[in-house]
Amino acid sequence: MHIQTAAVHTLRDFEHGAVVPPVHLASTFELDRATEDGAYAYQRGSNPTRAQLETVLAALDGAEHGFAFASGMAATAASLSTLVVGDEVLLPASVYGGTYRFVDLVLPGRGVTGRFVDDLGALTDEDFTPSTRAVFVETPANPTLRITDLRRIVELAHRHDALVIVDNTFMTPVLQRPLELGVDVVVQSATKYLAGHSDLLAGTITTNDARLAEAFALAQKAQGGVLAPLDSFRLIQAIKTLPLRLERQQANAERIVAHLRTREDVARVHFPGSYSEEEARIHASQASGPGAVLSFELAEGLDRVAFLQALRYPAYAVSLGGVESLICRPATMTHEAMTPEARANAGISDELLRLSAGIEDAADLIADLDQALEAAVL
């Protein structure tokens, strides 16, 4: 089944001939009085609407198991919940700021160490220690758009009995399918492309590993960061248009990248594969498109604040993946939890701007960027 069809038809045959699933808001469910059996007992453990969403999530990723959480960070935290005292996780230096904060400030209290690596693509066997139990990957990286070879990381990590966890938020299963490349766990901030309208907070995990699935189900029940039924229903509905939205967003981003690269007042434009021909080849081998996020830096002689103030369409806000274009300054907005030194090591300059292309008309977005660039001349 093509992913667009799966997005629409994974769930079918609802009561009364309804073409959309019902919403079960119950916090508790009656059990059989004699056996105490029941498909559901308490919403935190499971809920029919959330279970339907999790079926959709698994279908989209080609996974055996899917889990829905209250936020992307709740999903990321749960994905790392299998680590125990003495374990180490390797991450890219440019990892999302929220993940950096969790690894830097929370995991040490659990006796778990996070080691940030400047370039995951350069990992070798020598980088692994007996304590290394997981590698956490973003590809493309946020916000540098650097690419990591997932097949290579999987082979390397599994040789050392380490899990590979991939944050697939930027690509979604429409453009990149990490589980099919041997990855153990996929997490996403469903707040972004899956929900797609900047009005819903959610996170997801998918896996084919039954043992890990038990751990993630326990994380839901024990830690309680689960997605509510109404939000689960809304995410089911939003996913139905995910491939269509992302197709338009990606087309817009490609046109914007091509245009900005022609302008002398833009010093650098970053997009998947732009760092090197090798990274371009790797990305083409594991993803079916560049996605809809780019980042860039203005040339010397331009005022960043004036540029941002002159923009009409992209909102100056964190997040990405919505139908409306968004622009942000990662150094102070998405990656502010990192020290200046950590940001420098990750290639995140104070002048770097990240743009998430929406579904607006590309010509209007480009014209807006042009007039803002002209307004930014000192």
Q: Name the residue among 241, 224, 239, 237 with its Cα closest to residue 47.
A: 224
- Domains annotated on the chain, with CATH: 3-239 (3.40.640.10), 242-375 (3.90.1150.10)
d(CA 170, CA 167): 8
- Nearest 10 degrees: Cα torsion 94, 178, 166, 225: 140
pLDDT in tens, the chain (378 residues): 899 999 999 998 898 899 999 999 999 999 989 998 999 999 999 999 999 999 999 999 999 999 999 999 999 999 999 999 999 999 999 899 899 999 999 999 999 999 999 889 899 999 999 999 999 999 999 999 999 999 999 999 999 999 999 999 999 999 999 999 999 999 999 999 999 999 999 999 999 999 999 999 999 999 999 999 999 999 999 999 999 999 999 999 999 999 999 999 999 999 999 999 999 999 999 999 999 999 999 999 999 999 999 999 999 999 999 999 999 999 999 888 888 888 888 889 999 999 999 999 999 999 999 999 999 998
Q: For the CA atoms of the chain, what is the radius of gyration?
A: 21
d(CA 78, CA 96): 16
Alpha carbon distances (Å) from 95 to 140, 236, 329, 345: 10, 28, 15, 11
β-strand 266-270 against 203-207: which pairing, if any? Answer: unpaired
Task: Report whether 166 contacts 375 (CB < 8 A).
Answer: no
Q: What is the DSSP string of 99-145?
A: HHHIIIIIGGGGT-EEEEES-GGG--GGG--TTEEEEEEESS-TTT-
Coil/strand/helix, residue 269: strand
The pLDDT of residue 356:
98
The pLDDT of residue 296:
98
Task: Report whether 239 contacts 60 (CB < 8 A).
Answer: yes
Half-sphere exposure (Cβ direction) of 365: Cα atoms closer than 13 Å: 27
- Where in the sequence numbering do the catalytic residues fall? 44, 96, 167, 192
Backbone φ, ψ for residue 64 (5° rounding): -80, -25
The pLDDT of residue 337:
81
